[in-house]
Amino acid sequence: MAVCHLLLAAAAAALVSAQGPSATAAGCTAKSFAIPSWLIQDVKHAGADMSFSIANRATNYTATLACQGKTAGWNACVVQGAAPEDEPLQASVLVSETSTAFFVNQTWTCKDREKALTFTADGNATAALTYTSPLLIRGSLTSPVAITPTYADGATGHGSPGCSARSAKPSWVLSSLQYTDEPADGVTATPFRNFNVIVTNQANGYQASCMPGGGFAGVGDVSRLTCAGYEFQAFNVGRYPISTEASYDAVTSTFSLNQTWFCDDVDAAKPVQITSHATLPIPLTCTTTPSPTSPNLTNKYCTSTPSTLPLSSLSSFTTPLSAYSLTDPLPSSRGDGCTLTSIFSPHWQFSDFEIVQGEVRFEVILTAQDRGFQYPIPIYQGEGVKGREGWWECVVGADGGNGLPLWPNKCVIGWEKGKGVLGLEAEWECRDLDGGHPVKFTGVTTTTVDSPITCETVDGESRCATEDPGYTWTAGIDNVKWGV
């Protein structure tokens, strides 16, 4: 358990540097792909008629709608005031004795990226007649691609009953506490210090493991501990991961903690962020041994007594967040993934180009900014394409089955020997926005292997390759079609 947590903390240190907002993440286009959705508010009933306001969360478009509940079944609603020409909106309601069902369908255009895109999404939701919070309608895009975005799970325990109430007086339990001090003269041996603890937040059950700052490379600086937990195994936490900062003062044996976490157990429309600070003198029980490298110095190996310690908050403050934001997907902080790259800037990156026994092979990957853990895939020349001289089926190499591929699942290769012209007609699928419904793309690339190629024959096998074995190049994908 402890070892596992230590590895997580090291992974956390490596990942933290990769985060940070990107310029386009808050834009209309990114939001339209990530959160095509609406908030319904100010629902008013007057006899059979009703009215409400609607806000599109991707575009900030707002309108007031009125509906005449004359007939049983769905009743259409009409936008009050000037109807939006550029964002046509259809809404209808189905009112029963206890609840109201809302249906929305809207089309809008975003112009904040390389090219303008028109989106159409629809969705529905039902609320009790007495419901007064903003109601969230999560939409499915029907255009430009048909996807239902994957929403996040949210930070650990955000919805667990009592999260908000227990966060009024935050407390933690410290466990698996270990302190090691191995001093040294710094000449014949390097001094070593370590402090590990597992911190469990009593409001949400979140466990973080803390170790000296900077991961394994920085072992020794106990005054800056790196803490991490579940979020680095779950890649679906969303916009608001729990964050923990801690330190240990070896002179006074005092542990300090700052933690930020989230609750929306009372009402998902009213999430809150809690930031809290605590310190605790740690009662240590130590064994000592003379340092094997400097007999004048003493090594200390300590644990806490008792082995688990309660920790109470010294100060905390609570900040409201926008409605339903805890389960919103993370904006593309690492840049465009598979789908947006394929739409706005489709390029393949080629590498490892070779001709073995007259057959072309190379590696390829889509040039997404957010590549996750993907690496280029090898493509080999297979059977000739019937009726197309100079074109062959691709044999796509093994991918190790690691998640969200950024390479063709099917393709044909063209090779004009004398000219060094390489053609790639590819089909690929993006699952980064909606794991269950891949968006299918096709596109055509014509590129030149623009690096000298040298050949050698070893044991009767001829092998030609780019002179620089590290030569990589990118080429645009033309005629890209999606949803095909």
Ligand X SMILES: *[C@@H]1O[C@H](CO)[C@@H](O)[C@H](O)[C@H]1NC(C)=O
288 vs 131: CA distance, rounded Å: 64
The answer to whether 200 and 206 have CB atoms below 8 angstroms apart is yes
Minimum CB distance to ligand X smaller for 277 or for 334: 277
Supply 313's token pair: 């908050």
Applying CB under 6 A, does 451 fall inside the site for ligand X?
Answer: no
- Of these, 41, 64, 68, 105, which contacts ligand X (CB under 6 A)? 105
Coil, strand or helix: which one is 341?
Answer: helix
- Which region, judged by CB under 6 A, interacts with ligand X, from 240-248, 360-368, 379-387, 446-454? 240-248
Q: How far is the CB of 358 from ligand X (least distance, A)?
A: 52
Applying CB under 6 A, does 120 fall inside the site for ligand X?
Answer: yes
Minimum CB distance to ligand X smaller for 19 or for 90: 90
- Which region, judged by CB under 6 A, interacts with ligand X, from 44-52, 124-132, 348-356, 389-397? 124-132
- Of these, 164, 201, 244, 247, which contacts ligand X (CB under 6 A)? 247
Applying CB under 6 A, does 267 fall inside the site for ligand X?
Answer: no
Minimum CB distance to ligand X smaller for 67 or for 246: 246
**Which contacts qualify for 51-57: CB closer than 8 Å, 24 or more apart?**
51/80, 52/77, 52/102, 54/89, 54/91, 54/104, 56/87, 56/106, 56/108, 57/31
Applying CB under 6 A, does 116 fall inside the site for ligand X?
Answer: no
DSSP label at 147? B
Task: Please report, as residue ranges, which positions from 16 to 35 form the binding site for ligand X (by CB under 6 A).
Answer: 26, 28
- Of these, 294, 327, 381, 466, which contacts ligand X (CB under 6 A)? 294
Applying CB under 6 A, does 101 fall inside the site for ligand X?
Answer: yes
- Of these, 150, 178, 256, 345, which contacts ligand X (CB under 6 A)? 256
Applying CB under 6 A, does 277 fall inside the site for ligand X?
Answer: yes
Q: Maximum distance among all alpha carbons in the chain?
A: 93
> Which H or E element spans position 12?
helix 2-16
Rounded to a whole number of angstroms, the distance between the first and last alpha carbons of the chain is: 47
Applying CB under 6 A, does 296 fall inside the site for ligand X?
Answer: yes
Applying CB under 6 A, does 292 fall inside the site for ligand X?
Answer: no
Applying CB under 6 A, does 360 fall inside the site for ligand X?
Answer: no
The answer to whether 380 and 362 have CB atoms below 8 angstroms apart is no
Nearest to 281 by CA among 245, 311, 316, 315: 311
Tell me the C-alpha to C-alpha distance, in Å, between residue 155 and each of 325, 376, 459.
11, 32, 59
Output Rg (C-alpha) for the chain, integer angstroms.
29
Minimum CB distance to ligand X smaller for 68 or for 107: 107
Distance of alpha carbon 463 from the chain centroid? 42
Contacts of 427 (CB under 8 A, 6+ apart): 408, 409, 410, 411, 440, 441, 442
Q: How far is the CB of 412 from ligand X (least distance, A)?
A: 35
Applying CB under 6 A, does 194 fall inside the site for ligand X?
Answer: no
Task: Please report, as residue ranges, which positions from 50 to 69 form the binding site for ligand X (by CB under 6 A).
Answer: 59-60
Minimum CB distance to ligand X smaller for 101 or for 234: 101
Minimum CB distance to ligand X smaller for 57 or for 361: 57
Minimum CB distance to ligand X smaller for 204 or for 247: 247
Applying CB under 6 A, does 270 fall inside the site for ligand X?
Answer: no
- Which region, judged by CB under 6 A, interacts with ligand X, from 67-75, 201-209, 241-249, 427-435? 241-249
The answer to whether 209 and 196 have CB atoms below 8 angstroms apart is yes
How many CB atoms within 10 Å of residue 166?
A: 20
Supply 338's token pair: 């598979």
Q: How far is the CB of 282 from ligand X (least distance, A)?
A: 14
Applying CB under 6 A, does 245 fall inside the site for ligand X?
Answer: yes
Minimum CB distance to ligand X smaller for 260 or for 472: 260
Applying CB under 6 A, does 175 fall inside the site for ligand X?
Answer: no
Distance of alpha carbon 435 from the chain centroid? 13
Minimum CB distance to ligand X smaller for 88 or for 452: 88
Count of residues interacting with ligand X (CB under 6 A): 22
Applying CB under 6 A, does 113 fall inside the site for ligand X?
Answer: no
Applying CB under 6 A, does 437 fall inside the site for ligand X?
Answer: no
Minimum CB distance to ligand X smaller for 105 or for 409: 105
93 vs 174: CA distance, rounded Å: 52
Encode burial over 305-335: b for 16+ CB neighbours within 10 A, e otherwise. Answer: eeeebebebeebeeeebebbbbbbbbbbebe
Q: How far is the CB of 96 from ligand X (least distance, A)?
A: 11
Residues near ligand X (CB under 6 A) are: 26, 28, 59-60, 88, 90, 101, 105, 107, 120, 122, 124-126, 245-247, 256, 258, 277, 294, 296
